[in-house]
Amino acid sequence: MTLDSYVSLGRSGLRVSPFCLGAMNFGEDGGAGCDAAESERILRAYLERGGNFVDTANFYTNGHSEKIIGDFLAGRPALRDRIVLATKFFGNLHVGDPNGGGAGRKAVIAQLDASLRRLGTDHVDLYWLHNHDRHTPVEETLRALDDLVTAGKIRYVGFSDTPAWFTAQAHTMALLRGWTPVTALQMEYSLLERTIEGELIPLAQATGMAMLPWSPLKSGFLSGRYTRGGGIPEGTRRSAVLGEPSEEQYRVIDVLGAVAEEAGASPAAVALAWVQGRPGVTSTLVGPRSVAHLEANLAGLDVRLTEQQRAALDEVSAPALNFPADLNRQVGAMLQFAGATVDGERTAVYPPLAHSSVRY
Q: Is 337 found in the same domain as 236?
A: no
pLDDT for 327 equals 80
Helices and strands in the chain, H and E counts: 13, 12
Distance of CA 88 to the CA centre of its chain: 13
- Are residues 110 and 139 both part of a single domain? yes
In a domain, 262, yes or no: yes
Q: Is residue 234 part of a domain?
A: yes
Cα radius of gyration rounded to whole Å, the chain: 22
How far apart are alpha carbons 242 and 232 in whole angstroms? 10
AA identity, residue 194: R
CB 107 within 8 A of CB 101: yes
Say if CB 92 and CB 81 are below 8 A apart: no
Per-residue tens of pLDDT for the chain, all 360 residues = 899 999 999 999 999 999 999 999 999 987 779 999 999 999 999 999 999 999 999 999 999 999 999 999 999 999 999 999 999 999 999 999 999 999 999 999 999 999 999 999 999 999 999 999 999 999 999 999 999 999 999 999 999 999 999 999 999 999 999 999 999 999 999 999 999 999 999 999 999 999 999 999 999 999 999 888 776 776 555 555 678 899 999 999 999 999 999 999 999 999 999 999 999 999 999 999 999 999 999 999 999 999 999 999 999 999 998 888 888 877 766 777 777 888 887 878 767 656 655 555
Residue 1 included in any domain: no
348 CA to centre of own chain: 35
Tell me how far apart the alpha carbons of residues 147 and 235 are, in angstroms, rounded to a whole number. Answer: 46
Domain total of the chain: 2
pLDDT the model gives residue 359:
55
- Other beta carbons less than 10 A from residue 189's beta carbon: 26
Catalytic residue list: 60
Amino acid code (one letter) for 32: A
Quote the pLDDT of residue 126.
Answer: 98
**Is 44 inside a domain boundary?**
yes
Residues 134 and 87 reside in one and the same domain: yes
- 271 & 350 share domain: no
- Where in the sequence is the domain holding 42, given as residue range(s)? 7-319
Q: Which DSSP string corresponds to 293-313?
A: HHHHHHGGGG----HHHHHHH
* In a shared domain, residues 198 and 332: no
Based on the domain organization, do 289 and 331 belong to the same domain? Answer: no
- Do both 338 and 286 map to the same domain? no
Which among 158, 160, 161, 163 has a CA at the least distance from the CA of 199? 163
pLDDT at position 344: 83
Q: Are residues 84 and 181 in the same domain?
A: yes
Q: H or E stretch including 327?
A: helix 325-337
pLDDT at 357 (0 to 100): 58
Q: In the prediction, which pLDDT does 240 show?
A: 54
Task: Identify whether 107 is part of a domain.
Answer: yes
Query: Are residues 347 and 256 both part of a single domain?
Result: no
Amino acid at 41: R
pLDDT at residue 236 in the model: 57
Residues 307 and 329 in one domain: no
Same domain, 189 and 112: yes
End-to-end CA distance of the chain: 55
Closest CA to 170 of 124, 202, 125, 132: 132
- In this prediction the pTM is 0.92
